[in-house]
Structure 1
């Protein structure tokens, strides 16, 4: 990756990029942090054993030093001693092995979590290229890893030398006095040294974990163009989406106009709004809006209604309220039941008057709550 390319990658990685990287097994990991957790767990388990661990060590040494005459001439001695020694060794190191095993499984949770990726197990033959390998060694990340190794070596070596110098008198005293007390003291010194070693690894691992997280985020950064391309890929081309919406609108409008001849009444104001209602008492709980429109579409609804001799009732407030509150193919709200019932009763009376040749009844003008008109109240 060139320096210019790094400078262009100024945007934080998207969720999609992070998810793809995780699927490939590319998540932040710190070997130093994992190693520190394992060492601290093992040392803690060993130290917590205390006298019990020392007793196992004594028994193992005792098996090699305490034999009777009959045992020495027995051909079963090696097998029996080996079996007992292995049993004592297992009892000594089993807690340590269990603690380190649990720490090995738990350590990844501290940074990137536990994740299995089948893609990470696939062979990558390009890694066998020696030139590419040299490039990775002398790349920035390779140099950083080399610097970290040198720092760990110098830091741990310096601290252990200081400890050895500070504990020199105690180390020398372990060769004098009672064997049991000397062994207990030596194991205590060894445990403290191992605990100090693990603590240093923990400090280094914590710093390395912060760096690995930063480096992982930096490697996955994106350019502004990559973000735009990914947005287009995931959300679709805006022009194509607009075209799809236009086609959907045209199809919905065509279906609406096809249903319009089934309307019982069209409620309109003089020019702007038109709403077609249908009511089937046996199949519907309330009148249903089967078509509606404003301006040009409202005029088309009026024309189609006229050609199919559908009654047209001009009630501007009710037309606006129906348009604002009810979607196509939905029943009207309860707040408009009375007003619509007045209109349907008028339509029924109008049809009866036409059949009998009477004068048409006066058109109703129902009262409508202005809040039901929404943005169309004025």
Structure 2
């Protein structure tokens, strides 16, 4: 189906499109499935409850034909007699109605499921348009429904004729039976023929259900532009999402930079890497934690803040790369780097003590700190 912009609906409906259609009450439904379910439920219910229903009707007939003369002319006796008749029939009929009700509900929710839509209940004034009404009456859809109805009636009629022809001798044989037996036999034959005739609707249902599913999917098909627009509406425009990500990254960087003054040391690769470490001496058993890390411009900014707040900056390219690639922000360093980081912290603590006039100058750090091969980047 061509759109106004020249695009065709060639793409399957998305989950969002299906959800919106369901909210509007636009779901696949099969009238044939509902009709077949009701008729089969009624036929099956009559077969299951025929015994109790027949006995109840017999009691009502007996009570009705055995009314005494005094009761017949007593106006006050009419209501008790009616109440007794209703009480005899109420339970078998309620059972039959319950079976038909369950069959009707199942027949309508088997395809499309249960759906309650307030939008579908709202009045639509467009449906009151005479021109649109005529279009629906004489349109392609109306012609298809007419052909379906004619084919369905013809099929059911042929099936009923075949069924009657097959039971023709049995029907004629009822005239040779005594009255009570003939009546029971005729009712039983009628019920079974009704059930088999209802089963003739199943081939029609088997054709209609796939057609309704296909037609529903066809009506909801989308153009490529509609899919792109839906993606933009649900996921957001790429440029907006990119700006949001940049703002979030900037906020995260500002929070990270605020932690640099509290670090004990910043380990750097003079060209690209900077990693700020903090060790809490008051927590026995804890390991040094990465409070800030970055590459290139962020690494330069970390070093600037460290120098501003007099946080020692130690150049160790291999260790800086190892910590950067192995440890996430606000996480403790891995066990394999404990020895190397411990040497750096020991050097820093000795350096801070010497600057305060306590102790001797620290021994310079070795260039080849003990870093396991799996942590070398």
The answer to whether TM tops 0.5 is yes
Matched residue, 2:237: 237
Q: Output one character per residue of 1:246-295: Cα deviation in whole Å (capped at 9) or x when no partner.
A: 22223333333343233221112232222112233237933222222223
**CA 1:160–1:73 in 2, change beyond 3 Å: closer, same or farther?**
same
Moved more, 294-303 or 17-26: 294-303
Q: Matched residue of 2:323: which SS?
A: helix
* Root mean square deviation, CA, Å: 2.7
Q: State the alpha-carbon separation in 1 of the partners of residues 68 and 310 from structure 2.
A: 123
Q: Secondary structure at the residue paired with 1:331?
A: coil
| Match in the other structure for 2:223 | 223
Deviation at 1:321, TM superposition (A): 1.5
TM superposition shift of 1:220: 0.9
- In structure 1, the partner of 2:96 is 96
Q: 1:2: Cα distance to partner?
A: 5.2
Match of 1:372 among 364, 367, 375: 375
1:168-190 per-position Cα deviation (integer Å, ceiling 9, x unaligned): 34334434532211111111121
- Say which SS state the counterpart of residue 12 (structure 1) adopts: coil
1: CA distance, partners of 2:317 / 2:220:
60
After TM superposition, give the deviation of residue 78 of structure 1 in Å. 4.4
> How big is the shift at 1:58?
2.9
CA distance in 2, matches of 1:9, 1:322: 53
* C-alpha distance in structure 1 between counterparts of 2:272 and 2:210, whole Å: 65
1:313 match = 314
- Displacement, 1:344? 0.9
Deviates more, 1:182-191 or 1:131-140: 131-140
* TM superposition score normalised by structure 1: 0.88
| Structure 1: unaligned runs, 5 residues or longer | none
SS in 2 for 1:330: coil
1:185-236 Cα offsets, whole Å, 9 max, x none, are 1111210221022101232223212211111111111111111111111111
Aligned to 2:165: 165
Distance between the aligned counterparts of 1:7 and 1:363, measured in 2?
Answer: 70
Once the two structures are superposed, what CA deviation does each residue of 1:83-120 show, in whole Å capped at 9, x if it has no partner? 33333333443322111011122223321112211222
Match of 2:249 in 1: 249
Change (3 A) 1:266 1:77: closer
- Corresponding residue number in structure 2 for 1:198: 198
User: Contact 2:269–2:320 at 8 Å: present in 1 too?
Assistant: yes
In structure 2, the gaps of 5 or more residues are none
Shift of 1:9: 1.1
Matches of 1:226 and 1:369 in 2, distance apart?
54
Whole-angstrom CA distance in 2 between matches of 1:4 and 1:238: 26
Q: Which residue of 2 aligns with 1:264?
A: 264
Shift of 1:303: 3.7
Look up the match of 1:361: 363
Whether 1:208 aligns to 2:211 is no
1-10 or 323-332: bigger deviation: 1-10
Instruction: Give the secondary structure class of the aligned counterpart of 1:135.
Output: helix
CA distance in 1, matches of 2:4, 2:303: 65
TM-score (norm. length: structure 2): 0.89
SS in 2 for 1:113: coil
Residue pair 1:25, 1:119 contacting (<8 A) in 2 also = yes
Asked whether the equivalents of residues 27 and 112 of structure 1 are also in contact (C-alpha less than 8 Å), the reply is yes
CA pair 142-6 structure 1, distance change in 2 beyond 3 A: farther
Does the C-alpha gap of structure 1 residues 183 and 60 become closer, same or farther in structure 2, counting only changes over 3 Å? farther
Aligned pairs (5 A) from 1:116-131: 116-131=116-131
Q: 2:356 and 2:7 mapped to 1: Cα distance?
A: 84
Structure 1 residue aligned with 2:323: 322
Q: Does the residue aligned with 1:336 lie in a helix, a strand or coil? A: helix
How far did residue 71 of structure 1 move?
Answer: 4.6
